Every structure is written in structure tokens, then in C-alpha cells.
Amino acid sequence: MPDATFTRPDLTTFARPDGLGLEVTGQLLEPDRAVVACRVVEPDDWCRRCGCRGVPRDTITRELAHEPFGWRPTTLLLTVRRYRCTECGHVWRRDTTAAAQPRAKISRAGLRWGPVGIVVGHLSMARVAEGLGVAWNTANDAVLTEGRRLLIADPTRLDGVRVVGVDEHVWRHTRRGDKYVTVIIDLTPVRDGTGPSRLLDVVEGRSKAAFKDWLAQRDRARRDGIEVVAMDGFAGFKTATTEELPGAVTVMDPFHVVRLAGDALNECRRRVQQDLHGHRGRKGDPLYSARRTLHTGADLLTDRQHERLEKLFTGDRHVQVEVTRGIYQRLIAAYRDTDRAAGRAEAESVIDALTDGVPAPLVELRKLGRTLGKRAEDVLSYFERPRTSNGPTEAVNGRLEHLRGLAPGFRNLTHYIARALPEAGGFRPRLHPAL
């Protein structure tokens, strides 16, 4: 580094207590931690009662967990002078609120390091507690409180939200208690191409009331700013949106539409398998062997897969599966069409075909037709509003699944929500401008 300018070593600058109003006076390096002795820089020798000047009385020490360096827990040992007023006899200690909150065990720099480690580094709370050198409960309470204050409680966090995604999420896999929550996602950055989706909130339960109450709690200006709501086929989310956001457009995203058609194909295959063979699919059964090939897009089939399907559909034994697969492939083709108008026309044609004159034996297609017929407007709205699918919502769900791997065993929903929002709330650029 020929152009670098070196200065003398300065532990105050390196350990960064100068931003806390402290100055380093010494250090103690131990195998499992580092202790940095500090003193308060600013004088504080005027009486808070009568305003007269005090005289030094004695000193006390205060220990604060600080941000670690090299993953070695670092402790700030503050020497705090106490004064006694010469007039009224009042005794006080030098103010250390710049370094830490009253009675806190973690410095303000340590509090900031905790959310950064969780949001940017995806650390577990146990790893944060280890880095700070404090108990898990101490780190959890302090860091989550700081995260709420610094990130979640920001009044501008919900500004500019125009496209919302809503979906259910399983927050715990237990037999006792409600395991479902409703997640609300901001899809505006995805639609505008400015960034990834972000988690706005997690609401207990998966019902119309859960989403409706969340919308009702937002002020009128924010509700009026929501233009589009992307969702799955659950009618409760649709009804809540209609009642609380009459001016918003509801979009049933392609993932769930294609999934409904894929479920119909699976059910049809199983029913035909049972009718023909009297048992579930087994190794060697043609329908069972082709179960994955049936769901592969027509433009992605290999020559071997084409041959398998041609052999499967020779004759009329599997004609019902062939017809159901045809509807499934037409829906996929509609969404993959680069011409949005042509894709909409194809999707509308499929819905019309399913809602009128489907033969009675095709019970799966009749059921699919009833569902898509009721939500036809929502299905077709996607083609006028591309990039408003619930795919990014599912991506956030995946990040929350990853969170459970970092912190398994959540039993308290409040703690889960407080941990989920920093993990998937889109706060990384705020904590780390380079990201």
C-alpha cells in the first residue's frame, strides 16, 4: 500500500468507544475475552439540583458488553467518577447514557452490532449472545428491543407500499395450538424492478378476519395507496381485500393457478389408476411411472418423455388423464407466452372451456372449472399487471423456513414475529449501505 498513510496506534479509535463518549485507558487480554478500560470524556461536575459545582467523592466501575473484535467477546470497563455538591450535599455520578442506557448490560455499539449480525450476517441469537459474551436471554431481550426501535417501529416503513402479497405460513410444526399465521409482503420493489420483496408483518391465524383487521389498522392514506393485492385461491383474503380496499385490484397469482390445475391432474391420475387396477400406483404401473412426466412443460419434454406419453395415451384407457393434462399444459403456455394479450386470450379460453360443457366423468376438471370461474377476473388480472405474482411471497416464506433452522423450537409467537421481521423485512440496505 504505497499511498497509505499510517498513524500511531490508537485503541480508542480501533475499538470505537469514542463514539460512546469514552476514552480507552488500558486493556486486558484474556484467553476467552478482552477487557478495555475506559473513562468518560465529558466532565459532569455541576449539581443537578442547585447548580453549584461539586467535588470528586469516589469512583465506581461499570461493565458493558461491547461489539466483539475477531469474535473475541469485548467488555468495556468504565471508571465512573462520583461527585458531591458542596452546597446541598447531593451525590451523583458522571453521566454515561451516551455509552449505554441506564442499567443496561450492553453498550450502544453492541446493541447495533446485534441487529447487524442478525439481519446482514443471518446469525442465530445464540451466536450473537456468544459474540457479546452475555446470556442468551440478555442478548435476545436487548437486541430485539433495539431492532424494534431502530427498524420495525420506523413510521416510514410502510410508506410507498402499492403492491401487497398475502399468504399463509406455518410457523411451528406441533400438534398443539394454532400453527398458522398470515404473512403480508411488500411486492412493490419487485413490480418496479428496484429490489426484492420484503416482509411487512406477520399476523396470528389464517382467516379473513386476520387480514381484514390488519388492513383496518392502517391509516386511510396507506390503504388508499395500495393498488394491487396478490394472493392464492383462498376466498377469505379476497373478501377482506374487497371490503377494506374497494379500489384495489386482486390478482390470483400464476403459481397457485397452475398448482390448482396440477392438483386436478394428480387427482385424475390417481382416480383412473384406482378404477383400472384397483390399487394405488406401484412401480411398473404406466400412470405411476409417468407421474412426473405428466407435469413437465410440453416445451421441456425430452424425446424419451415424448415416447412415454405417446405410449401412455395410445387407446382410450387414459383419455381422461390426457384431457386433464391438456388443460394443465394450456394454462402453463398462457403464462409463458411473451405476448400478454395472447396469453390472456388463451387463459380466458381455458376458463370458458372449463365452465361450460365439461363431461360429467371429468370430475376434477369440473371442480377446477368452478374455482376458476369464480375467480376468473382475478386470474386474468395478472396479464395486465405482470410481476405481481405471489412468487416473491413464497420466497419470503422460504427465508422464514430458514430462520427456523437457525433458531429451532419457537414456542412464543411474539418472539417469532419479532425475529422474523428483522430477518425478512428488507432492512439490510439500511444497516449496511453497500448491500
pLDDT value of residue 237: 93
CA 278 from centroid of its chain's CA atoms: 45
Write out pLDDT tens, residues 178-219. Answer: 788 999 999 999 888 888 889 999 999 889 999 999 999 999
CA distance 209 to 282: 44
Residue 224 predicted with pLDDT over 70: yes
Is residue 435 over pLDDT 70? no
DSSP labels, 329-383 = HHHHHHHH-SSHHHHHHHHHHHHHHHHS---TT-HHHHHHHHHHHHTHHHHHHGG
350-375 per-position pLDDT tens digit: 999 998 889 999 999 999 999 999 99
pLDDT interval class at 84 (50, 70, 90):
very high
Mean pLDDT, all residues of the chain: 89
Name the residue among 264, 265, 256, 296 with its Cα closest to residue 397: 256
Q: Report whether 191 contacts 389 (CB < 8 A).
A: no
pLDDT at position 355, please? 87
Q: Cα 391 from chain centroid?
A: 13
Inter-residue contact 308 to 287 (CB < 8 Å): no
pLDDT at 260: 94
Answer whether residue 96 shows pLDDT above 80.
Answer: yes
| pLDDT value at residue 74 | 93
Q: Which DSSP category does 51 fall into?
A: -
123, three cell numbers: 446469525
Residue 156 has pLDDT above 90, yes or no: no
Q: What is the pLDDT of residue 30?
A: 87
Residue 104 pLDDT > 60: yes
What mean pLDDT comes out for the span 273-285? 90
165 phi and psi angles, rounded to 5 deg: -115, 140
Residue ranges in 150-253 assigned as alpha helix (H): 188-192, 208-217, 220-225, 235-244
The C-alpha cell at 9 is 496506534
The arithmetic mean of pLDDT across residues 299-318, rounded, is 91
Q: What is the pLDDT of residue 433?
A: 64
Percent of the chain with pLDDT over 70: 98
Higher confidence at residue 431 or residue 41?
41
Pairwise CA distance, residues 391 & 405, whole Å: 22
Q: How confident is the model at residue 434 (pLDDT cuts 50, 70, 90)?
A: low
* Residue scoring higher pLDDT (418 or 109): 109
- pLDDT band for 330, please (50, 70, 90 cuts): very high
Q: Which residues contact 395 (CB under 8 A, 6 or more apart)?
A: 196, 197
Confidence band for 1, pLDDT divided at 50, 70 and 90: low
Q: Identify the pLDDT of residue 274.
A: 93
- pLDDT attached to residue 416: 85
Provide, rounded to the nearest whole percent, the portion of the chain with pLDDT above 90. Answer: 55
Place of cell 459474540: 131
Question: All domains of the chain, ordered by start, with CATH?
Answer: 11-152 (no CATH), 163-253+389-404 (3.30.420.10), 255-384 (no CATH)
422 phi, psi to nearest 5 deg: -65, -30
